């Protein structure tokens, strides 16, 4: 972007900042101009200006995507977090209408008081609804409720020609905008049908497993009698115990229990302390010095051992836990990414089909071990299929692998990414784009064969590629 444009835009819009921007994983940064609009009119003015001056626009919600899908080197980022109003809330029907910058936390603060919930909630409570739509995010209920788009009833989309398009569920454009990574237009208003729940509380059951086969069997079994499930896997252990860990499942509590505004506020306020008492910054700064594979291996052992001691009575259910405390458990270990600084981390989240699932997951863990790319915490979730154009879906299992960059040679990481991509493709799997910044264009095309239809629609709705991102340039141009 030219200096003249930066100066003009800065004088036209109050909330404009020029500087280095990063994805959540903080692996690299690039300069962009960031504008935080507060109304649709302002968004329209910015788009018109960019049309005249040929500036590319990338949208950003909460900035919780890990890599380059929220970067737009030397161009413009439109940060939607200030358009964060709940426009309509009907506690009788559970219908809610929101601006795109509204977070999961703010919807829960309202809806859980009346026993209504969003489904498909990611682990980050400040993720925005615009961001959730554009990655079609998933939660621990993915195998039951699918991905986020299932509950959305209609969307208002501001196009690059300034028109606002209202799109409903059965519209092919709807199927593309959900999971569309902001490439078709700016989502400016969303209508959602929330799900009625018996109470805002869940009971959690934690069951130990001796290996990945048992974990997968248990994930399957819990589909029959629970609403949420996730398996935690020790990525370091080898041999017969490979992938040992525990499965945490949860079910809504069918009792007349009510929450309060105060309890929700507490649950949805970010803690500064790890487990409520350890000051996070100093702990992570010291932790960084010990963040080495040998220590991580030990921590995984310790984690398993502690789980064994605390959950000795397998099958035992917890007392009722507020859903937001269960779902946003990351909140209990705040600022964990401090430990990866200053070089950040890569997360790879592959989804592999259920057929042969146990064996492929075992092989994948072995592949990580071969490259010394085992994850500190490794979560496995079950998923189901949907019909959105580009979507992290399918009847199978996803597994999260995150590796710190510090202490690793670039060539070795590249080799791992190449082998991992080949492994995933040969097993008909895919990598979650919200967390990716590594796969090649060819790998992307193999993992997401609908990309051709995606690009045809992109051409018709945004012929001048006004909406873009570093990821779009990497994978689709």
Ligand X SMILES: Cc1cc2nc3c(=O)[nH]c(=O)nc-3n(C[C@H](O)[C@H](O)[C@H](O)COP(=O)(O)OP(=O)(O)OC[C@H]3O[C@@H](n4cnc5c(N)ncnc54)[C@H](O)[C@@H]3O)c2cc1C
Single residue of 138, 205, 430, 446 touching ligand X by CB under 6 A:
138
Closest-CA residue to 420 (of 472, 471, 351): 351
CA torsion sign, 386 to 221 to 432 to 133?
positive
Contact status: 135 vs ligand X (CB under 6 A): yes
Q: Does 247 bind ligand X (CB under 6 A)?
A: no
In whole angstroms, what is the distance from residue 476 CA to residue 441 CA?
7
Smallest separation, CB 452 to ligand X (Å):
20
Q: Which of 37, 67, 94, 124 binds ligand X (CB under 6 A)?
A: 124
Residue 272, phi then psi, degrees to nearest 5 = -95, -5
User: In which element (H, E) is residue 454 found?
Assistant: helix 451-461
Q: Which helix (H) or strand (E) holds 153?
A: strand 152-158
Dihedral of CA atoms 139, 143, 148, 150 in degrees, nearest 10, equals: -160
How many whole angstroms separate alpha carbon 61 and alpha carbon 268?
Answer: 18
| Cβ–Cβ < 8 Å for 396, 351 | yes
119 binds ligand X (CB under 6 A): no
Give yes or no for residue 146 binding ligand X (CB under 6 A). Answer: no
Minimum distance from residue 4 beta carbon to ligand X (Å): 26
Q: Is 228 in the site for ligand X (CB under 6 A)?
A: no
The answer to whether 187 contacts ligand X (rule: CB under 6 A) is yes
Please give the order of strands across the beta sheet that includes 86-90: 86-90, 95-98, 186-193, 152-158, 164-168
Q: How far is 274 from 333, CA to CA, in rounded Å?
A: 5
Size of the site for ligand X (CB under 6 A): 32
Q: Name which of residues 51 to 110 contact ligand X (CB under 6 A).
A: 58-65, 69-70, 80, 100
Closer residue to ligand X (CB): 63 or 320: 63
**Stretch of 137-145, 259-267, 338-346, 417-425 contacting ligand X, by CB under 6 A:** 137-145
Nearer to ligand X, 70 or 173 (CB): 70
Query: Is residue 340 within the footprint of ligand X (CB under 6 A)?
Result: no
Residue 134 binds to ligand X (criterion: CB under 6 A) = yes
Position 403 contacts ligand X (CB under 6 A): no
Q: Which residues contact 435 (CB under 8 A, 6 or more apart)?
A: 25, 65, 66, 67, 347, 348, 349, 400
Asked if residue 231 binds ligand X (CB under 6 A), the reply is no
Q: For ligand X, which is the closer residue by CB, 187 or 380?
A: 187
Pattern 190-219, binding to ligand X, x per CB under 6 A?
------------------------------
Of 157 and 242, nearer to ligand X (C-beta) is 157
Cβ distance to ligand X smaller for residue 138 or 195: 138
Residue nearest to ligand X as judged by C-beta position = 131
HSE at residue 165, side-chain half, CA atoms within 13 A, is 18
Minimum CB–partner distance for residue 137 and ligand X (Å)? 3
| Nearest-angstrom CA–CA distance, 265 and 255 | 22
Q: Which parts of this chain interact with ligand X (CB under 6 A)?
A: 24, 58-65, 69-70, 80, 100, 122-124, 127-128, 130-132, 134-135, 137-139, 181-182, 186-187, 330, 434
């Amino acid at each position: 972007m030219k200096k003249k444009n930066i100066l003009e835009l800065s004088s036209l819009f109050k909330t404009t900042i020029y500087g280095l921007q990063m994805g959540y994983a903080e692996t690299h940064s690039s300069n962009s101009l960031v504008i935080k609009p507060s109304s649709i009119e302002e968004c329209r003015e910015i788009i018109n200006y960019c049309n005249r001056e040929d500036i590319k626009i990338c949208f950003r919600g909460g900035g919780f995507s890990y890599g380059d899908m929220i970067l737009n080197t030397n161009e413009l980022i439109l940060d939607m977090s200030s358009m964060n109003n709940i426009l309509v809330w009907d506690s009788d029907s559970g219908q809610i209408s929101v601006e795109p910058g509204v977070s999961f936390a703010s919807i829960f603060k309202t809806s859980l008081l009346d026993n209504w919930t969003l489904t498909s909630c990611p682990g980050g409570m400040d993720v925005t609804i615009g961001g959730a739509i554009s990655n079609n995010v998933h939660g621990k209920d993915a195998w039951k409720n699918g991905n986020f788009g299932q509950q959305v009833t209609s969307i208002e989309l501001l196009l690059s020609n300034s028109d606002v398009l209202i799109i409903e569920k059965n519209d092919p454009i709807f199927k593309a905008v959900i999971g569309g990574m902001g490439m078709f237009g700016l989502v400016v208003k969303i209508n959602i049908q929330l799900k009625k729940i018996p109470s805002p509380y869940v009971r959690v059951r934690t069951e130990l497993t001796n290996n990945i086969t048992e974990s997968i069997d248990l994930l399957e079994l819990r589909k029959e009698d629970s609403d949420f499930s996730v398996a935690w896997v020790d990525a370091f252990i080898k041999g017969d115990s490979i992938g040992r860990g525990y499965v945490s499942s949860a079910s809504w509590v069918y009792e007349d229990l009510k929450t309060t505004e105060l309890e929700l506020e507490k649950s949805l306020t970010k803690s500064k302390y790890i487990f409520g008492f350890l000051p996070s910054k100093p702990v992570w700064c010291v932790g960084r010095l010990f963040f080495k594979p040998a220590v991580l291996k030990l921590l995984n052992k310790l984690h398993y051992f502690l789980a064994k001691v605390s959950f000795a009575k397998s099958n035992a259910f917890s007392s009722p836990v507020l859903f937001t405390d269960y779902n946003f458990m990351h909140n209990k270990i705040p600022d964990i990414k401090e430990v990866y600084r200053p070089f950040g981390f890569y997360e790879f989240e592959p989804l592999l089909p259920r057929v042969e699932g146990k064996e492929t997951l075992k092989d994948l863990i072995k592949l990580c071990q071969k490259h010394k790319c085992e994850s500190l915490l490794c979560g496995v979730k079950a998923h189901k299929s949907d019909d959105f154009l580009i979507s992290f879906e399918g009847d199978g299992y996803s597994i999260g692998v995150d590796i710190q960059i510090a202490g690793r040679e670039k060539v070795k990481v590249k080799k791992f990414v190449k082998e991992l991509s080949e492994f995933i493709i040969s097993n008909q799997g895919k990598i979650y784009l919200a967390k990716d910044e590594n796969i090649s264009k060819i790998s992307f095309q193999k993992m997401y064969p609908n990309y051709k239809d995606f690009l045809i629609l992109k051409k018709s709705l945004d012929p001048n590629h006004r909406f873009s991102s570093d990821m779009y340039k990497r994978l689709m141009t």
